[in-house]
């Protein structure tokens, strides 16, 4: 009898975790719709801790979920005239190449056990999650501090694009995206504002197009060597797409800077929690 109750309790916990995972999918879409980034940083933790997906698989799934959701958002922004195609090409092409090569060649080459350090067994999964958590902390600090250049960028027009720096930034963000499965909007948007001199709203729309292209193409590098759970991807992506429609509506009614700071604190707490959980579990 005790065993039966224990099994039922585990089933209830798993069911609640799954529901929280699907709610996180909606939150991911809302964030992408409102601030053009940030939400994708939650996709891998939601898949790993709430849906029980292996970290390597989660980084691949994240590329598809974020890419498909961002594509819908980019189409909406394009209709509103908030996508700069030239900046998207200059940034997007090196980023797409880098993320595809990272997923197709670099990720499969990383051994399952990398080594040991200070009493910790450094597995491939631990390495990915630690890099991801550190990235979350850095991203959260950026969101909390806010952009000092956003307001100035809204009034700037007809500035010449800094093509070499935009190209280099695109390649670096592409490699990072391929490794951890995050869209990188929190890196792309500042680059478009500072280097391409785009207004903030145009930078957000352009960022969504870049995220969509590099994430979906990067995902194709995983199809050959991973068994894809298309049912999970379909449900999770559909909820995220629903979230981005809601996020676009809320964007017209909400102060995006206040939202970004609040979201930044949430991401910071999540990043610190992941570091603690991974280190305590792999000692």
Rounded average pLDDT per 10-residue block, the chain, 283 residues: 64 81 90 74 86 87 90 90 90 87 84 79 83 81 65 45 78 80 70 78 87 86 82 93 88 69 78 84 57
pLDDT recorded at residue 158: 46
State the pTM of this model.
Answer: 0.72
- Round to whole Å and give the CA distance between 225 and 176: 20
pLDDT recorded at residue 153: 42
DSSP string, 203-245: HHHHHHHHHHHHHHHHHHTTTTTS---HHHHHHHHHHHHHHHH
For residue 25, give both structure tokens: 């999918």
Cα dihedral 23→28→63→123 (10° resolution): -70
pLDDT recorded at residue 130: 86
pLDDT recorded at residue 151: 42
Q: How many CB atoms sit inside 10 A of residue 262's CB?
A: 12
pLDDT recorded at residue 154: 45
Of the CA atoms within 13 Å of residue 59, those in its CB half-sphere come to: 29
pLDDT recorded at residue 4: 60
């Amino acid at each position: 009898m005790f065993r039966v109750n224990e099994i039922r309790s585990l089933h209830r916990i798993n069911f609640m975790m799954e529901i929280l995972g699907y709610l996180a999918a909606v939150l991911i879409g809302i964030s992408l719709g409102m601030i053009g980034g940030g939400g994708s940083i939650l996709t891998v933790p939601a898949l790993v801790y709430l849906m029980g997906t292996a970290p390597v698989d989660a980084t691949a799934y994240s590329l598809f979920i974020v890419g498909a959701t961002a594509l819908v958002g980019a189409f909406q922004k394009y209709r509103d005239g908030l996508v700069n195609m030239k900046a998207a090409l200059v940034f997007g092409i090196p980023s797409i190449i880098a993320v595809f090569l990272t997923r197709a060649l670099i990720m499969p080459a990383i051994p399952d056990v990398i080594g040991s350090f200070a009493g910790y067994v450094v597995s491939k999964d631990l390495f990915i999650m630690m890099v991801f958590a550190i990235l979350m902390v850095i991203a959260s600090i950026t969101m909390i501090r806010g952009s000092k250049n956003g307001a100035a960028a809204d009034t700037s027009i007809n500035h010449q694009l800094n093509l070499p720096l935009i190209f280099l930034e695109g390649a670096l963000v592409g490699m990072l995206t391929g490794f951890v499965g995050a869209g990188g909007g929190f890196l792309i948007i500042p680059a478009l504002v500072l280097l391409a001199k785009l207004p903030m709203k145009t930078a957000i729309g352009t960022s969504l197009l870049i995220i969509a292209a590099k994430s979906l193409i990067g995902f194709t590098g995983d199809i050959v060597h991973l068994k894809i759970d298309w049912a999970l991807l379909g449900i999770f992506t559909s909820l995220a797409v629903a979230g981005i429609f809601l996020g676009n509506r809320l964007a017209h009614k909400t102060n995006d800077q206040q939202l970004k700071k609040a979201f930044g604190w949430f991401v910071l707490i999540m990043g610190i929690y992941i570091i603690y959980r991974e280190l305590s579990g792999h000692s």
